[in-house]
Amino acid sequence: MGPTPDIKKHFLLPGAICAPATEHLVTTILGSCVAVCLWDQAHHRGGMNHFLLPLWNGDGLPTPKYGNIAIDRLLEKLLQRGANHATLIAKVFGGASMWASSGGLLAVGERNVELVKAQLDELRIPIVSADLGGRVGRKVIFNTATGEVWMQRHQEHR
Amino acid sequence: MTTLSDQELIRTLEERFEENHKALHDLRMTTSKLEEMNRKLQESEALKSHFLSNVRNEINNPLTAITGLAQQMICGNVSPAEVSGVATDIYFEAFNLDFQLQNVFAAAELEAGEATPFPARVDVIALVTSTFEMFGHQARIKQIDFRRHLDAAPKYFVTDPEKLRIILGNLLANAIEFSPAGASVDVRVTQGDNNLLLSVRNTGVHLDETARSLIFDRFRQLDMGSTKQHHGQGLGLSVCRSLAELLFGTITLTTDDTVPWCQFELSLAPFPTEVSDSAEDGNVFLFDNVEKF
């Protein structure tokens, strides 16, 4: 079972944001990255981001490669398109630990997960469903008009 | 209760030590990052107001020159023999202004998450040559030995040509702007394993460690304030770095502590065109059953 095929498709690259005006199927593939799907229950429109790291550390440009930037930008875009902050819900995916041990105690994936929870909580946007953490990558397809998300888990190969 | 052998005990202790060590390391890293971040935050207010006053100069001055020169021509104050010279001045003022604005727009687009790569099969030599020639005039004015080495360049490479052009333009403009008169600037394009390697190297500039750590920051020029000697907003390298990331690449800076030269090398991975295909059919990954949320 998958989404209906005759809707416009968009492949979301890491670090990008997609908040289209019309119905789209937005697809992305996640490892330790996290994608936030925001959807307005009242206006039936939404958008998705895909960030790689939790916080912008002041290096280079503050782009949506960083979670704190990506969530704010996605929200701004949706509000510009007429969404209402109060009726927004969030579905979040990703944040896997792709390597067994990566030096520090907290892997990038876990830090991304922590950030997304804290920031959405601060913005008072409820997380209605989520599939976070674990050890495997995910493919996510988001319908921006219906708010439905289909997710496939990458098979573990260890 | 199970008893532990001495060896097991030692191993457990070692593991705990290792964990503590890691935690301490993480804490130390976090603290140093916080200190760094704190410094940058304190600076950012100053940088912002500096940027605003700088924009006024950088945009207003060329525009005044352009309108002034054009007016002279309209009024007939320019003799036919001088027309070409005045037109050249207008062209280069406009070129410079356009270049500055392109960086501002590129930064705005990147920060908004609206920068989308449009990959194409790029004729590398033609792109590098035409960008190189755009800066020839500025190099001649500063008597810079401006050379290109394209013998080992690949003929074609799949990437976004416009974004590559902005990166190369910035690296060249910086190399010319920040080199002393009479220095040399070398552009070299080669091919790595699968990567496109593009380096811009200039002599006569010494970058110490502080300079190296600041140089990619936005709104940052090493010489700032009202007496600054160089053009620009301090956006170029931060834009280059973000654009390079967008094109699945990196920019690295190499310097020498004894001899004054520096080199910026752009390494671009070929564009994963199959990424968009895998989104459609999932052939690249083997997936479990679909779940709906």
Confirm whether B290 is domain-assigned.
Answer: no
Query: Which among B111, B112, B105 is positioned nearest to A80, based on CA atoms?
Result: B112
Task: Check which CATH number belongs to the domain holding B157 and give it.
Answer: 3.30.565.10
Residues (pLDDT < 70) of chain B are 1-2, 224-227, 273-288
Q: Which residue has the higher pLDDT, B219 or A46?
A: A46
For the entire predicted model, the pTM comes to: 0.76
What is residue B30's predicted lDDT score, i.e. its pLDDT?
83
| CB B207, CB B220: distance < 8 Å | no
Other Cβ atoms closer than 10 A to B154: 17
Confirm whether B142 is domain-assigned.
Answer: yes
| CB B36, CB A59: distance < 8 Å | no
What is residue B281's predicted lDDT score, i.e. its pLDDT?
45
Over chain A, what is the mean pLDDT? 87
Confirm whether B74 is domain-assigned.
Answer: no
**Residue B22: which residues within 8 A CB-CB, separation 6 or more?**
A103, A104, A105
Asked if pLDDT for residue A127 goes beyond 50, the answer is: yes
Confirm whether B53 is domain-assigned.
Answer: no
State the residue range of the domain holding B160: 120-277
- Just list the catalytic residues of A: 33
Reported as a single tens digit per residue, the pLDDT across A76-122 is: 999 998 899 999 999 999 998 876 555 556 678 888 999 999 999 99
Q: Is A72 on the interface with B (CB under 8 A)?
A: no
What is residue B273's predicted lDDT score, i.e. its pLDDT?
58
| CB B265, CB B251: distance < 8 Å | yes
Residue B282 — left, alpha, or beta (φ > 0 → left; ψ -120 to 50 → alpha)?
left
Number of structural domains chain B divides into? 1
Alpha carbon separation from A102 to A36, A80, A105, A131 (Å, rounded) = 24, 40, 8, 22
What is residue B215's predicted lDDT score, i.e. its pLDDT?
84
Domain A8-153 has CATH 3.30.1330.200: yes
Confirm whether B259 is domain-assigned.
Answer: yes
The residue extents of the domains of chain A are 8-153
What is residue B233's predicted lDDT score, i.e. its pLDDT?
76
Residues 104-123 of B with CB under 8 A from A: 107, 110-114, 116-117
Give A44's pLDDT tier (boundaries 50, 70, 90). very high
Q: Average of pLDDT values for A124-132?
A: 93
Confirm whether B99 is domain-assigned.
Answer: no
What is residue B285's predicted lDDT score, i.e. its pLDDT?
44
Q: Is A102 on the interface with B (CB under 8 A)?
A: no
What is residue A70's predicted lDDT score, i.e. its pLDDT?
93
Q: Is A21 on the interface with B (CB under 8 A)?
A: no
